[in-house]
Structure 1
């Protein structure tokens, strides 16, 4: 890794400003230090994501923990919002692998590990227009997750439920608990992490506007369920209020998540002989895009709104899941 890492990956100025916001006083010295530390690093993920997301996020946590002199509190809860298929699991593994080099005890978990038990999900999602038993708002046991976080932040060891998607004929169910011996930074990843309910009035106004790209693409049944999903999303707000930062992974176009997830399932079938059918994958991806249309719920995370703050960072991905833009969310608006 020779030379500054970012000019060949993405525009340098937004990335430099993001690094400064993450507590990096000298981005060039920071890059050189990481090159020395990493040596002959090889992914996955793509190197652009190493420099565009992983290392800035770790540097931010290092600074905020007090190790970098900022003197902020431990423990930290960081949200990572990204569509299905974007590679959040791979990014999480690399975050966990590199964190100890900064003295950080970091774990990455999926909000989907807090899915409700199978029977409760069936009841909660009965009749939904996607025919899925998980994914949309209302699928998760938010009170349980909040209680787990409360105990962790009060000094107890972190314990979280575990979800096994192989159970119940691949519809998934609870599979015991996962205990973490020492965690100071927890990254919570998921496609809806940070998304805020619009409320009855704002959603009604959005739905009453002349047909545009987002509502023109929804079926009558999907439109009819939007108020239900928005209402379910309200229960997640206390959880989002716990976040100490929010990092956004954004596809260059919203047709990409389906392609990415189909590719992932194909790899899974080749390696294990198991995997979802294409129709099942399409239903799950559709559930993310039509229960909370990105134009209403994801785009708003990129800017400051009353009662919340803009996300910490925004990372844009091309069709091959390479970082093509990295910067503060307010730089992207």
Structure 2
């Protein structure tokens, strides 16, 4: 989605104004959840632009920018489960760093926002992180599993795809990921003032959307950067399938704003709770 539908931006800005009027705490945190490739980053940038035009100091932070280093995930792969070498699932982010950023913003001080280089699969050097000036009023926090709840242990028993069946036959990986989601991630998600869901028409469209993202990465990639082919993309998104399906099933009933998308990422319905 190269450009946000203006009705979607208007609807989220209504959530921003509502959050600002409901609490004296600053910044208010507007959470955007959506499957890979659903347009979260595009919407976040549009919100940042709109906030600027309305005189509101804002910043954007992605859950993707909190990924652990490649080396740290390799250590998890050795010590916990080989599937944790792949970034993305709960347990592969530095949630403490995200909470520190929020604490610093709420204290009114300037803060450096973490950034992650997906092509190199490692964080951007800290010296190159953008600085948010004091007085931030709105933080747009976006992520594929933002606001997700863990599943009941009994719901983890049956694999949802070949990756789980063949590479996590005993369920250890998915139980560990579920435990992580139920722990520190909930402390981060509790800081969200308004939750917005970009609801894909189904998980089946995610492969095409993620392929489009990868093509965009390829355009920007340097000679040392890694870009996935179609088979690698299919395996990559399989890591996300379980939680994505749960989000699509249960989050529409509790999100503050649901933007239902068609396969071209155009809004079909925009509904506030």
| TM-score between both structures, scaled by the size of structure 1 | 0.70
Corresponding residue of 1:15: none
- Work out whether residues 76 and 85 of structure 2, in 8 Å CA contact, stay in contact via their aligned partners in 1: no
Output the CA distance in 2 between the equivalents of 1:44 and 1:134: 25
> Are 1:197 and 2:197 matched, yes or no?
no
Q: Which residue of 1 aligns with 2:245?
A: 294
Alignment of 1:95-110 (within 5 A): 95-110=47-62
8 Å CA contact retained: 1:130, 1:283: no
The residue number in structure 1 matching 2:200 is: 251
How many residue pairs are counted as aligned between the two chains?
262
Tell me the equivalent position of 2:218.
269
CA contact (8 A) 1:44 1:90 kept: yes
2:140 paired residue among 181, 187, 195: 187
Contact 1:159-1:180 at 8 Å conserved across structures: yes
Superposition deviation, residue 71 in structure 1: 6.5
Regions of 4+ moved over 3 Å: 70-73, 125-132, 214-218, 220-223, 267-275
Match of residue 138 from structure 1: 91
Provide the rounded CA distance (Å) in 1 between the counterparts of 2:263 and 2:174: 28
Q: What are the within-5 Å matches in structure 2 for residues 1-333 of structure 1?
A: 44-47=2-5, 50-51=6-7, 53-66=8-21, 72-126=24-78, 128=81, 130=83, 132-167=85-120, 171-176=121-126, 177-182=129-134, 183-198=136-151, 202-204=152-154, 206-207=155-156, 215=160, 218-222=164-168, 224=171, 225-233=173-181, 234-269=183-218, 275-290=227-242, 292=243, 294-295=245-246, 297-303=247-253, 310-328=254-272
Shift, 1:222, TM fit: 3.9
| CA deviation profile, 1:17-69 (whole Å, cap 9, x unmatched) | xxxxxxxxxxxxxxxxxxxxxxxxxx94253xx20x21111122134324xxx
Aligned-partner Cα distance in 2 for 1:216–1:289: 8
Q: Relative to 1, partners in 2 of residues 1:237 and 1:46: Cα closer, same or farther, differing over 3 Å?
A: closer
Do the aligned partners of residues 121 and 71 (structure 1) sit closer, same or farther apart at CA in structure 2, a change above 3 Å counting?
closer
Hey, what does 1:6 align to over in structure 2? none
Separation in 2 of the partners of 1:253 and 1:78?
A: 24
Distance 1:128 1:298, change over 3 A: farther
User: Separation in 1 of the partners of 2:119 and 2:161?
Assistant: 35
**Structure with larger RCO (C-alpha < 8 A, sep 6+):** 2
Structure 1 residues 258 and 130: CA distance shift in structure 2, 3 A: farther
Q: TM-score, normalised by structure 2?
A: 0.85
**Once superposed, what is the RMSD of the aligned Cα atoms?**
2.6
- Which of the pair has more CA radius of gyration? 1
